[in-house]
């Protein structure tokens, strides 16, 4: 078989040394810092029989930097390649090794060696504090335009102990320790809930970290994010890995953060314990994930895991592109976007989505299609929903606002997988949203370092695939929605209410009694021009550079307290407790 995949090409480029020096350097730097940080813990785990000739982080980092975003091909080397990846994953994600890292971290930071009670406080204190109580509120917000569950209304919102406890007509005279009168051009929204964010810490913190990502989120009116299980090292595929990630997230997060678990080959036995430890569901891939420590599932493995998740009513969220279809597609190399687009055909998505639908049908499990790009798949999704499958679908601002026809040569800031497609595709995605076939919109914020975006060469086959947009989602979607005559109320449902519901976040996603007082003061008519250097996420790159948008978030409140961008007050949330 001819050499068809960029993963092997990338590897050759790296090992031959000359072609991508900047990329190698980046991988090397990352690997070295990860090595230094983790060397002692890695040494500690050697006694258990697993020889550790080099740090697992080193292996993972080097491999991911080389392998871009394409799967291995189905030739003779395929199985060898698969088992190599499994062994990378086994080593990087080994629970005993991670327990060692946790112990190290706790020692280094003077934390008790026992697992601390880092659980969030359980909800409001519920002492009859709903409307009718005449005690002062902690905070009252008054305005002509409050986005209630019944649409925009003139209201006064009373907040106590972090919860919304009063929603009264404007003029009721609620009294608060603090009160805010909205300006004429301001609307009060429930904080947005973004269930698809890659934070990458620990392990690839130079790509993105909890402090920077959650600041970006808060600035964009997002008050809850759910972090994806991959791109951090280790991947969140067992309980120690989840605990380790929480150590880094606590005290650094400006908004509430929850976690997805990962489903990879061989970790079925860890799914239930991750669920019990509060993950909101499980992510899997049906093709190479882009990082070797997070291998993908074959369709039969997906079905096995779906059956497992069904036993405790958890949700499987799937990156649905078909490995074989991508393998047989043309090569992505070069700086012409159209070449890259042809390397990620709609057919790859369509095949994989059909697979997810049928396996969900056979098992009766709950499934969710991540980042839908191919509008071809909408009819079969609609039909599966009509059949009563427990299936939901998300799409992202980039598929709803960008056009492949307009992407300049070499502009790798636009590269993501699945890719941004043509204008006709975008129009159909909007139709799918409006008719309810697509359930909600999330960012899929997936940053990397500038080096890994291959800015010097602009080679779409080499650059990391991922768009950074966490701070801009609301303005992007609102700008486009308004142009199409879509109400702000629907935008809020797509970006707050519905993702919260699907993730089982019972106190998020609505401006309603008993819900967390997570609020955003939004000025829908205020325009601004995107400047990557002024966004809060770590690496200053975005495909929306210089784009004029309308809709600015002026202030964000988390459980009634304004986010000040100085003191991180976010909580780590768990399924069933938020
Ligand atoms: Zn993603």
499 CA distance to ligand 1 centroid (A)? 15
417 CA distance to ligand 1 centroid (A)? 9
Average of per-residue pLDDT across 208-231:
97
Does the pLDDT at position 65 exceed 80? no
52 CA distance to ligand 1 centroid (A)? 30
**Cβ-contact 178, 138 below 8 angstroms:** yes
Q: Which 3 state secondary structure label does DSSP give 567?
A: coil
Closest CA to 221 of 15, 526, 576: 526
Q: Give residue-wise pLDDT tens across range 47-61.
A: 333 333 345 454 444
328 CA distance to ligand 1 centroid (A)? 23
Confidence of residue 132 (pLDDT cuts 50, 70, 90): low
Euclidean distance between CA atoms 492 and 132, whole angstroms: 28
CATH code of the domain made up of 193-511: 3.20.20.140
55 CA distance to ligand 1 centroid (A)? 26
- As beta bridge partners, residue 157 has 141, 167
Q: What is the pLDDT of residue 120?
A: 42
Q: What is the pLDDT of residue 489?
A: 98
171 CA distance to ligand 1 centroid (A)? 45
466 CA distance to ligand 1 centroid (A)? 8
Euclidean distance between CA atoms 228 and 24, whole angstroms: 26
Q: Give residue-wise pLDDT tens across range 385-441.
A: 999 999 999 999 999 999 999 999 999 999 999 999 999 999 999 999 999 999 999
- Within 10 Å of residue 79's Cβ, how many Cβ atoms? 11
Sheet hosting strand 222-227, strand order edge to edge: 192-197, 222-227, 256-259
Q: What is the pLDDT of residue 27?
A: 35
Confidence of residue 119 (pLDDT cuts 50, 70, 90): very low
159 CA distance to ligand 1 centroid (A)? 34
- Residue span(s) of the chain under CATH 3.20.20.140 come to 193-511
319 CA distance to ligand 1 centroid (A)? 8
Long-range (24+ apart) CB contacts under 8 A made by 26-35 are 26/65, 26/449, 26/451, 26/452, 27/61, 27/62, 27/64, 27/65, 27/66, 29/206, 30/61, 30/65, 30/204, 30/206, 31/55, 31/57, 31/58, 31/61, 31/62, 33/206, 34/58, 34/61, 34/203, 34/233
Contacts of 191 (CB under 8 A, 6+ apart): 221, 222, 223, 224, 255, 496, 508, 516, 518, 519, 520, 556, 557, 558
Euclidean distance between CA atoms 100 and 241, whole angstroms: 11
Q: Give residue-wise pLDDT tens across range 433-466.
A: 999 999 999 999 999 888 888 888 899 999 999 9
Does the pLDDT at position 4 exceed 80? no
Euclidean distance between CA atoms 463 and 411, whole angstroms: 10
DSSP for residue 179: E
Euclidean distance between CA atoms 222 and 220, whole angstroms: 6
Q: Give residue-wise pLDDT tens across range 169-191.
A: 999 999 999 999 999 999 999 99
218 CA distance to ligand 1 centroid (A)? 19
Contacts of 427 (CB under 8 A, 6+ apart): none
506 CA distance to ligand 1 centroid (A)? 23
460 CA distance to ligand 1 centroid (A)? 18
130 CA distance to ligand 1 centroid (A)? 39
State both tokens at 459. 């080679």
Average of per-residue pLDDT across 533-541:
89
Confidence of residue 110 (pLDDT cuts 50, 70, 90): confident
Closest CA to 569 of 206, 229, 215: 215
Euclidean distance between CA atoms 535 and 429, whole angstroms: 27
Average of per-residue pLDDT across 365-373:
98
7-11, 475-479, 496-500: the lowest-pLDDT one: 7-11
279 CA distance to ligand 1 centroid (A)? 16
465 CA distance to ligand 1 centroid (A)? 10
């Amino acid at each position: 078989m001819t050499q068809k995949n960029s993963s092997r090409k990338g590897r050759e480029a790296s090992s031959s040394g000359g072609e991508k020096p900047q990329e190698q350097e980046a991988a090397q730097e990352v690997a070295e810092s990860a090595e230094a940080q983790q060397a002692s813990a890695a040494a500690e785990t050697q006694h258990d029989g697993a020889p550790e000739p080099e740090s697992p982080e080193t292996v993972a980092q080097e491999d991911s930097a080389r392998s871009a975003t394409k799967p291995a091909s189905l030739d003779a080397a395929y199985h060898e390649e698969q088992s190599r990846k499994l062994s990378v994953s086994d080593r990087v994600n080994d629970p005993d090794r991670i327990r060692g890292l946790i112990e190290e971290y706790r020692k280094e930071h003077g934390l008790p060696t026992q697992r601390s009670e880092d659980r969030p406080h359980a909800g409001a204190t519920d002492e009859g504090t709903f409307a009718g109580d005449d005690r002062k509120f902690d905070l009252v917000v008054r305005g002509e335009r409050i986005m209630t569950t019944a649409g925009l209304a003139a209201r006064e919102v009373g907040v106590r102990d972090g919860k919304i406890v009063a929603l009264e007509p404007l003029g009721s005279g609620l009294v608060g320790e603090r009160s805010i009168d909205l300006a004429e051009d301001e609307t009060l929204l429930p904080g947005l809930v973004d269930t698809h964010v890659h934070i990458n810490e620990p392990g690839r913190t130079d790509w993105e970290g909890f402090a920077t990502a959650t600041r970006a989120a808060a600035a964009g009116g997002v008050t809850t994010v759910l972090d994806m299980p991959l791109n951090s090292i280790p991947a969140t595929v067992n309980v120690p890995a989840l605990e380790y990630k929480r150590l880094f997230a606590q005290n650094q997060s400006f908004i509430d953060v929850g976690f997805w678990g990962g489903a990879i080959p061989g970790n079925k036995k860890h799914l239930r314990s991750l669920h019990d430890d509060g993950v909101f569901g499980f992510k899997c891939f049906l093709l190479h994930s882009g990082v070797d420590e997070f291998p993908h599932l074959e369709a039969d493995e997906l079905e096995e895991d779906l059956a497992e998740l069904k036993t405790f009513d958890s949700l499987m969220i799937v990156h649905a592109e078909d490995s074989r279809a991508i393998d047989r597609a043309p090569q992505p190399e070069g700086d012409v976007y159209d070449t890259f687009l042809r390397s990620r055909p709609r057919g790859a998505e369509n095949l994989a989505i059909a697979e997810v639908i049928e396996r969900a049908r056979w098992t009766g499990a709950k499934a969710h299609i991540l980042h839908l790009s191919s509008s071809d798949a909408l009819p079969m999704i609609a039909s599966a929903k009509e059949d009563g499958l427990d299936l939901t679908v998300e799409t992202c601002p980039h598929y709803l606002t960008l056009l492949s026809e307009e992407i300049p040569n070499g502009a790798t800031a636009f590269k993501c997988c699945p890719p941004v497609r043509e204008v006709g595709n975008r129009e159909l995605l909007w139709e799918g949203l409006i008719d309810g076939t697509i359930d909600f919109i999330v960012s899929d914020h997936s940053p990397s370092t500038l080096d890994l975006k291959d800015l010097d060469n602009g080679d779409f086959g080499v650059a990391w695939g991922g768009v950074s947009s966490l701070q801009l989602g609301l303005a992007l979607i609102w700008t486009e929605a308004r142009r199409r005559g879509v109400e702000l109320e629907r935008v809020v449902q797509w970006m707050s209410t519905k993702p919260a519901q699907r993730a089982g976040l019972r106190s998020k996603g609505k401006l309603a009694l008993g819900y967390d007082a997570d609020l955003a003061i939004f000025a829908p008519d205020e325009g601004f021009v995107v400047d990557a250097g002024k966004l809060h996420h770590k690496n200053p790159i975005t495909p929306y550079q210089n784009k004029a948008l309308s809709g600015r978030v002026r202030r964000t409140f988390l459980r009634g307290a304004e986010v000040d961008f100085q003191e991180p007050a976010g909580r780590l949330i768990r399924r069933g407790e938020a």
